[in-house]
Amino acid sequence: MALAMVELRLCLHGATSAIPSGRGRSCLCQSSQSPSRVGRTARIHCRRKSSDFCSEVKPTSRFLGSISGLGFRDLREDGPTTTASAAADGGVFVVRAVLDSAAPEKPKPKQRYPGESKGFVEEMRFVAMKLHTKDQAKEGGKEADVQPVAKWEPTITGYIRFLVDSKKVYDTMESIVAKATHPSYELFRNTGLERSERLAKDLEWFESQGHTIPEPGPAGTSYADFLTELSEKNVPAFICHFYNVYFAHSAGGRFIGKRVAEMILDGRELEFYKWDGELPELLAAVKSNLNKVAEGWTREEKNLCLEETESSFKYSGKILRTIISQ
């Protein structure tokens, strides 16, 4: 940091001069007080003059308080001029100021988040993909599980538990958006992605085949309770769970459903994996509304939403693993 000590001599009768003390530095100072202000408040404007001193810098002069005879009041930057106000009673006073010739820090470039240019849903997708394992997705950021999904050995009992717990979560999600305790939730009613009714049909079919349908287990009830509380106090975090639950089911969930059906259901396709209409179009409409909601968020709220992704994976993972329970 290059400093120049400039001694300002202020004469309240109109004469002002600047004496540079630093080598190769100069300063042009002018008094701006009017005769009517003489003896009350003197205002000094100090401009750096030489190009090697100013370069491209806005003045950042700091009057450090090494003041003889003046009661220092305040200092402010006003465009290219640094202004100091001081009370004065008359006569000639000396003010010493240190002029900082170092360039001010350039504003940091705005941080860009992966996928941001395509909308907030793409940001959520990017974070979610990084939490997948490499055997689940090419973009996966985690090592493959010791027991990857492709090597699971599902059971009918476990699969029914999975469907029951899943229904508990979807019932809760759909109830939350139906009540819409927050206005943004209204956008996610009747999206065509709803799963509760279809899961009810699947469970009826299993029951007709002689299987007992249990009550929701800890994995489903704990997630449902968590979502209910979250939706009331943290909208961005709830939206994160909403996105991950529905969009994950439309992608990896279908793959798992098909594989399980081939292994234990003779290839039967459950209602859980069917949609009315074209799925890409349904997803696109929901994606548009998710982006619309996020447009009203601050960057901090968006980050809060993204940070909730890991929690969503944790809860959903517990439900998914009931498929291989006995």
Please, are residues 96 and 9 in contact by the beta-carbon 8 Å criterion? no
Residue 16 phi, psi (nearest 5)? -135, 140
- Paired tokens of 5: 């000590």
**Which three-class secondary structure state does DSSP give residue 95?**
strand
Q: Quick one: DSSP state of residue 187? A: G
Cα–Cα distances in Å, from 280 out to 248, 275, 283?
13, 10, 5
Burial (CB < 10 A; 0-12, 13-18, 19+), residue 212, is exposed
Please, are residues 132 and 314 in contact by the beta-carbon 8 Å criterion? no
Q: Where are the alpha helices (DSSP H) in 180-323?
A: 196-208, 218-233, 235-248, 254-264, 279-294, 299-307, 309-320
- Paired tokens of 157: 């009992």
Instruction: Give the integer Cα–Cα distance in Å for 286 and 260.
Output: 28
- Paired tokens of 236: 């961005």
pLDDT of residue 138: 60
Measured N-to-C along each axis, helices 218-233 and 309-320 cross at an angle, to the nearest 10 degrees, of: 160
User: pTM of the predicted model, to two decimals?
Assistant: 0.66
Q: Which of 87, 126, 98, 130 is nearest to 21 (CA)?
A: 98
Per-residue pLDDT of the chain (326 residues; tens, 9 = 90+): 443 444 444 433 333 444 344 433 333 333 333 333 333 333 444 443 333 333 332 333 443 343 344 443 333 333 443 444 444 444 443 444 444 445 566 677 677 777 788 899 999 999 999 997 766 656 655 666 656 666 789 999 999 999 999 999 999 999 999 999 999 999 999 999 999 999 999 999 999 999 999 999 999 999 999 999 999 999 999 999 999 999 999 999 999 999 999 999 999 999 999 999 999 999 999 999 999 999 999 999 999 999 999 999 999 999 999 998 87
Identity of the amino acid at 235: V
Please, are residues 240 and 308 in contact by the beta-carbon 8 Å criterion? yes
